[in-house]
């Protein structure tokens, strides 16, 4: 076997010399001395990792406070409906998963965009005359968060910008900045049930704007846009020729006195990538099943965006195959009363929380219409001992063991967000403690 020997000769701080001898088939060949360098470790984090920043984690992790040991902790901060066990998924959903596991048919790799039959199931579920869908219009993803990541990655290049709601879900900014994409924040108006400030939105558009993110129903606001307001949003996008990334993970999770309108059903010419998934409506966020629905009736995206999504999906080879195997049954056999019961609980909690917090001087909750959240304004003049919402919520933890997210996490200071998925008795206890805190 051929072999070679490298001998390093060096003195002090002088650059070492490499004495190279090759030994081939028993014959030694000397190549003499060549300049080299002493090997040393130089491992550095990537630029993408350095640009990745989660404002929720950054703020929450910096809140170095301990809850009151005399009071049990009540967390109204985490948008996971499964935490307290009061909102289980439906038995039909669980049975579908068990049968797939027992079948042993979904343990291998699937196409990166998902099984054809599963894409057909999602297309059939969301298809309607106003926004027709076929299997080729569906990309299955590892949760809605990956759907948003793929949609951003296919629409925007480093140096371009995207339009993001304020207050808004922090993941948009986290993903965009890691990709070198600028974030421009457009305002939502609490006095108008969190409608978009359309003039402000349109003023932000420039030649580098790659897409507009519309989150409806909203996290963190719990708001639901009316049909007329969605039409006005589409008019702005149409005038400015800006495609829409629609985050509709809370689609259909609206209260009885409100109606959810998928934005694609109202669009005649604006191309839309609609992101959704099982996480919230079916109460299984850990199953990591999401999708992108491609609405492009004027062929503005064309093959380029579809091909781009296909290539991007190949980076992780698609979502969980076991959940894919159960997907058709989950979508088409979950009984309507399951959705109704979930919404009844959320609506009852929202009403309880809104009524209780409205009665507290210095707090102004904004009534939600859907999703799982409620935003509360802190009238800071009533609380001169606090400079901002972060200090307010820190003290609320330390004195009352109630954890609400400061809305600085959502680029909207002097508000806080309440999650309304907790059991009713915890909502009432938390509101009672908040009242006690505010009256001290």
Domain borders along the chain are 50-85+336-439, 91-333
**Which of these CATH numbers, 3.90.1150.10, 3.30.470.10, 3.30.360.10, 3.40.50.2300, describes 50-85+336-439?**
3.90.1150.10
> What pLDDT does 2 receive?
47
pLDDT digits (tens), the chain, 440 positions? 444 444 445 554 444 555 555 555 555 555 555 566 678 998 999 989 888 888 777 777 777 789 999 999 999 998 899 999 999 999 999 999 999 999 999 999 999 999 999 999 999 999 999 999 999 999 999 999 999 999 999 999 999 999 999 999 999 999 999 999 999 999 999 999 999 999 999 999 999 999 999 999 999 999 999 999 999 999 999 999 999 999 999 999 999 889 999 999 999 999 999 999 999 999 999 999 999 999 999 999 999 999 999 999 999 989 999 999 999 999 999 999 999 999 999 999 999 999 999 999 999 999 999 999 999 999 999 999 999 999 999 999 999 999 999 999 999 999 999 999 999 999 999 999 999 999 98
> What pLDDT does 102 receive?
97
> What pLDDT does 28 receive?
56
> In CATH terms, is domain 91-333 a member of 3.40.30.10?
no
pTM (2 d.p.): 0.89
HEC profile of the chain: CCEEEEEEECCCCCCCEEEEEEEECCEEEEEEEEECCCCCCCCCCCHHHHHCCCHHHHHHHHCCCCCCCCCCCEECCCCCCCCCCCCCCCHHHHHHHHHHHHHCCCCCCCCCCCCHHHHHHHHHHHCECCECCCHHHEEEECHHHHHHHHHHHHHCCCCCEEEEEECCCCHHHHHHHHCCCEEEEEEEEHHHCCEECHHHHHHCCCCCEEEEEEECCCCCCCCCCCHHHHHHHHHHHHHHCCCEEEECCCCCCECCCCCCCCHHHHCCCCCEEEEEECCCCCCCHHHCCEEEEEECCCCCCHHHHHHHHHHHHCCCCCCCHHHHHHHHHHHHHCCHHHHHHHHHHHHHHHHHHHHHHHCCCCEEEECCCECCEEEEEECHHHCCCCCCHHHHHHHHHHHHCEECEEHHHHCCCCEEEEECCCCHHHHHHHHHHHHHHHHC
């Amino acid at each position: 076997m051929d072999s070679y020997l490298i001998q390093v000769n060096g003195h002090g701080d002088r650059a070492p010399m490499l004495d190279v001898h090759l030994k081939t088939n028993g014959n030694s060949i000397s190549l003499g001395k060549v300049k080299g360098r002493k090997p040393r470790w130089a491992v550095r984090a990537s630029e993408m990792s350095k640009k990745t920043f989660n404002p929720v984690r950054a703020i929450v992790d910096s809140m170095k406070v301990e809850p009151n040991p005399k009071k049990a902790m009540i967390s109204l901060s985490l948008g996971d409906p499964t935490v307290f066990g009061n909102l289980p998924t439906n038995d039909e959903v669980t049975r579908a998963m068990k049968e797939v596991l027992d079948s042993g048919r979904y343990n291998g790799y699937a196409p990166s965009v998902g099984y054809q039959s599963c894409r057909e199931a999602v297309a059939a579920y969301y298809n309607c005359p106003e926004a027709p869908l076929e299997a080729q219009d569906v990309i299955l993803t590892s949760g809605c968060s990956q759907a948003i990541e793929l949609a951003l990655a296919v629409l925007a290049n480093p140096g371009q910008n995207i339009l993001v709601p304020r207050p808004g879900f922090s993941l948009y900014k986290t993903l965009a900045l890691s990709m070198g994409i600028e974030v421009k924040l457009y305002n939502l108006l609490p006095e108008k049930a969190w409608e978009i400030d359309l003039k402000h939105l349109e003023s932000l558009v420039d030649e580098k704007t790659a897409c507009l993110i519309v989150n409806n129903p909203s996290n963190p606001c719990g708001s639901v846009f009316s049909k007329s307001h969605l039409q006005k949003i589409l008019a702005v996008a149409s005038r400015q020729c800006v495609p829409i990334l629609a985050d509709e993970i809370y689609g259909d999770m609206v209260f009885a006195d409100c109606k959810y309108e998928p934005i694609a059903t109202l669009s005649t010419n604006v191309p839309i990538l609609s992101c959704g998934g099982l996480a919230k409506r079916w109460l299984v966020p850990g199953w990591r099943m999401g999708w992108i629905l491609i609405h492009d009736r004027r062929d503005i995206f064309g093959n380029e965006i579809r091909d781009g999504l296909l290539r991007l999906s190949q980076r992780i080879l698609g979502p969980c195959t076991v959940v894919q195997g159960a997907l058709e049954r989950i979508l088409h056999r979950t009984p309507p009363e399951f959705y109704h019961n979930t919404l009844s609980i959320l609506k009852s909690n929202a009403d309880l929380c809104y009524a209780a917090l409205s009665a507290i001087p210095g707090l102004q909750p904004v009534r939600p219409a859907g999703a799982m959240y409620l935003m509360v304004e802190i009238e800071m003049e009533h609380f001169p001992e606090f400079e901002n919402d972060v200090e307010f919520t820190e003290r609320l933890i330390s004195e009352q063991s109630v954890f609400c997210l400061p809305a600085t996490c959502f680029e909207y200071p002097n508000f806080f967000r309440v999650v309304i998925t907790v059991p009713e008795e915890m909502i009432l206890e938390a509101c009672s403690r908040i009242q006690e805190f505010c009256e001290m």
